[in-house]
Amino acid sequence: MFLDTLIRRNPAFIEAAMELHQQGKIPANSYVLDLDTVERNAKTFSETATKLGLKTFAMTKQVARHSGFCQALIRGGIARSVAVDMDCAVACHRAGLKTGHLGHLVQVPRGGVDFAASQLKPDYWTVFSHDKAKEAAAAAAKAGRVQNILARIQTQGDTFYRGHEGGFSAEDICEVADQIDALEGARFAGITTFPALLFDLESRSVKPTPNLDTLKRAAAALAAAGRTDIEINAPGTNSAAVLPALAAAGATQCEPGNALHGTTPLHAMEDLPEEPAVLYLSEVSHQHGGNAFCFGGGLYIDPVFPKYDVKALVSSQPTSARKDLASVEVPDYSAIDYYGMIDATGDVKPKTGDTVVFGFRGQAFVTRANVVGISGVSSGNPQVTTIENIFGQAVDWPEKALS
């Protein structure tokens, strides 16, 4: 689905990545980033958010916290990250993108709180329980700081992905705020949830979840108790195009992730302000039984759509022509993605060494893929910046250090 958008809106990026792979400069099993486009997307998003009074924290996990990606965001006007976990915070911090929001979605483990409070010094720290609030407060006090705390809230009927559940009862938010303020080293700063917005396939649009109403009711209760200067963090499917609705609902913070490389579900349905800036690149390995097998390792397709006919561009030459598209069978999530299987019985006849380009919504941080930055696509002089692992660390390629 996203490959169609890439072909229409950023064909030069596809062809640049294919040429660099054929030149031996990009390894198979790589997410590839068009850093020029990322920078423009960040500028578009941040300028819109600023006009609406929204603070912006960038989610970088989808592209494995690549340092060049982080630096492109900074050039585009986004100076803070939301760290999905501690590895995310460290990688972004190391790249210069300081921690705006920590603890959401993944709480900070007890063994990491002192490091988080003294070294990362997040602007906001989300907690799901009194126990985690006490840990964050004690670490901040030890570091000589007062930490802004966001309370993750929930109530019956809210929407959560399985395994994401947790948080304070929204009905108790005023008491929770008082309890957090009573902790040395802590200051109650506001409330959060996830997701506040979700793509609705039936209407082909982004809609608020019940969680957004929960935030609004909790904010009203806090205001009635005299707490008017609070942050309302409302992450979820977004784009510069949906920010006005988010601001109108009372949000003060937004957290773009896939929007920054043009891969939210809505980006597959409409041409939004953000352009596509990521692809997955592989290479044909061998043939068997009417299929050409291409290397896997990063073939995790985030299941935001029902299963569909996955296609890839397959060629030994740079191309964005639809005649070079072939269907690909991607292993089910219950299997390890050693290979993808390209249909070799049609018009496309893959050969060993051919470049294979996919366009899908990924989650690179849960894979074993490389992440490669390209600069200069927009000026016609594409160059590889760095090749990194899923922790945003540069890797040696093609020569691997053996000691």
The per-residue DSSP string of 241-304 comes to GGHHHHHHTT--EE--SGGGGT-SHHHHHS--SSPP-EEEEEEEEEEETTEEEEE-SS-----S
Check the CA dihedral 122-128-134-135 and report its sign: negative
Question: Which whole-number Å values give the CA distances from 354 to 138, 194, 292, 322, 365, in the listed order?
Answer: 56, 41, 10, 16, 26
Per-residue pLDDT band at 387 (split at 50, 70, 90): very high
Instruction: State whether 281 and 249 are in the same domain.
Output: no
Mean pLDDT value of segment 146-167? 97
- How far apart, in whole angstroms, are the C-alpha atoms of residue 17 and residue 23? 10
Q: Kindly state whether residue 271 falls inside one of the protein's structural domains.
A: no
Contacts of 226 (CB under 8 A, 6+ apart): none
For residue 206, the one-letter residue type is V
Identify whether residues 250 and 385 lie together within a single domain. no
- What residue has token string 């911090």? 93
First to last CA, the chain: 42
Both 353 and 234 in a single domain? no
Domain boundary pick from 191, 220, 255: 255
Whether 3 is covered by a domain: the verdict is yes
Residue at 317 is within a domain: yes
What CATH number is given to the structural domain containing 241? 3.20.20.10
Is residue 56 a part of any domain in this protein?
no
Does residue 173 share a domain with residue 308?
no
% of residues, the chain, pLDDT over 90: 94
Peptide bond into 195 cis (omega under 30): yes
Based on the fold, state whether residues 217 and 307 are members of the same structural domain.
no
Q: Which residues contact 297 (CB under 8 A, 6 or more apart)?
A: 29, 337, 338, 367, 368, 369
Is residue 338, in this structure, part of any structural domain at all? yes
Report which of 206, 275, 271 is spatially closest to residue 236, judged by C-alpha positions. Answer: 206
Residue 403 lies in a domain: no
Q: What would the pLDDT profile of 217-255 be if each residue is shown by its tens digit?
A: 999 999 999 998 999 999 999 999 999 999 999 999 999
Containing structural domain, residue 287:
1-33+276-389
Euclidean distance between CA atoms 348 and 357, whole angstroms: 14
Q: Supply the Cα-derived Rg of the chain in whole angstroms.
A: 22
As given in the structure block, the two tokens for residue 260 are 């920054």
Q: For residue 385, give the CATH number of its domain.
A: 2.40.37.30
Contacts of 70 (CB under 8 A, 6+ apart): 58, 60, 81, 91, 92, 95, 96, 97, 392
Last residue of a domain, one of 221, 255, 289: 255
Q: Are residues 118 and 152 in the same domain?
A: yes
Tally of structural domains, the chain: 2
Q: Which of 225, 255, 285 is the last residue of a domain?
A: 255
User: Do 246 and 178 have their domain in common?
Assistant: yes
DSSP for 155-218 reads -TT----TT----EEGGGHHHHHHHHHTSTTEEEEEEE-S-SEEEETTTTEEEE-HHHHHHHHH
381 confidence band (pLDDT: 50, 70, 90): very high
pLDDT for position 403: 61
Amino acid at 178: D
Domain co-membership, 280 together with 246: no
* Backbone angles phi and psi of 374, in degrees to 5: -125, 130
Confirm whether 247 is domain-assigned: yes
CA distance 195 to 212: 8
Q: Are 356 and 283 within 8 A, CB to CB? A: yes
Same domain, 344 and 302: yes
- SS3 state of residue 131: helix
SS3 state of residue 374 = strand
Mark whether 382 and 251 lie in a shared domain.
no
* H or E element in which residue 35 lies: helix 35-51
Mean pLDDT of the chain: 96
* Euclidean distance between CA atoms 135 and 124, whole angstroms: 14
Cα–Cα distance measured from residue 274 to residue 45, given in angstroms and rounded to the nearest whole number: 8
391 secondary structure, DSSP code: T
Residues in the chain: 403
Do 29 and 104 lie in one domain? The reply is no
Has residue 7 been placed in a domain?
Answer: yes
Q: For residue range 75-131, what is the model confidence (pLDDT) as tens digits?
A: 999 999 999 999 999 999 999 999 999 999 999 999 999 999 999 999 999 999 999
Confidence of residue 7 (pLDDT cuts 50, 70, 90): very high
Asked whether the predicted pLDDT for residue 359 surpasses 90, the reply is: yes
Residues of the chain with pLDDT > 70, as a percent, come to: 99
Residues 85, 167 within the same domain: yes
Give the pLDDT score at 219.
98
170-226: pLDDT as tens digits: 999 999 999 999 999 999 999 999 999 999 988 989 999 999 999 999 999 999 999
From CA 107, how far away is CA 330, in angstroms rounded? 32
Hey, what are 373's tokens?
A: 């930055």
The tokens 């099993």 sit on which residue? 29
